[in-house]
Amino acid sequence: MEKIVILTGAGISAESGLGTFRDAGGLWAQHRIEDVATPEGFARDPALVQAFYNARRAKAATARPNAAHEALARLQAAWPGEVVIVTQNVDELHEKGGAQGVLHMHGILSGALCATCGHRWPAPAEMAAGEPCPACHAPTARPDIVWFGEMPYDMDEIFEHLVNADLFAAIGTSGQVYPAAGFVQEATAAGSRTVELNLEPSATVSQFDETRFGPATQTVPEWVAELLAG
């Protein structure tokens, strides 16, 4: 039975009303990456970083999964082989749409992490600068988000899935952030077919065997229906 590995990025949640990073008017047009998505930025101004993530946590809490998230959950439930979803998104809309076992390589907005001892716990709706860790009591609670220069989560498991994939799909990701941007190369080297679904060609578009362009709420349900029809 064919194994499908799917990588998703901010584009799949765009039509749920959550901002992407690099599109015009996206999150990085409003904030400098190095201020809000690096450990150095957090050390410099924890209040700014907490405010950035508090706002995104509040927005994600009310966001609804869209037809693309729901189509991937349908594929997982109906496909006779394995369907692994790896997401760079921190919004948990795949789970809200019914997906199982999602690998959150860049963390989750609903999680908190101690920068001192590494303890992880559910984040409150609002986090403040200098909040204490419930385990070691150091005043270093932060969002459980993977910032630039940090190791993404579950990498061993993800690479294991990639080398065993028969089909790799990247959905709504610009292909500008590593290691995720290198997954298509890993999958190709392992003999997998590859497909990109995106609004526009990504930075790695030339590395895919097949491309489908358009809004995720259209392209993903169509692609899933074709797969399930055989």
Instruction: Rank residues 9 and 111 by Cβ distance to ligand BJW and give the closer one.
Output: 9
Given the rule CB under 6 A, which of 14-22, 71-79, 92-100, 187-195 is the region that contacts ligand BJW? Answer: 14-22
Q: Per the residue annotation, which of 69, 94, 104, 106 is the catalytic one?
A: 106
Which two structure tokens, joined as six digits, stand for 8?
């998703």
Q: Contact region for ligand BJW (CB under 6 A) — 95-103, 117-125, 148-156, 204-212?
A: 148-156
User: Between 35 and 74, how does the x/- string for binding to ligand BJW read (CB under 6 A)?
Assistant: --x-------------------------------------
The answer to whether residue 98 forms part of the interface with ligand BJW (CB under 6 A) is: no
Of 71 and 146, CB closest to ligand BJW = 146
> Does residue number 9 form part of the binding site for ligand BJW (CB under 6 A)?
yes
The closest residue (CB) to ligand BJW is 11
| 8 A C-beta contact, residue 211 and residue 201 | yes
Contact 70, 93 (CB under 8 A): no
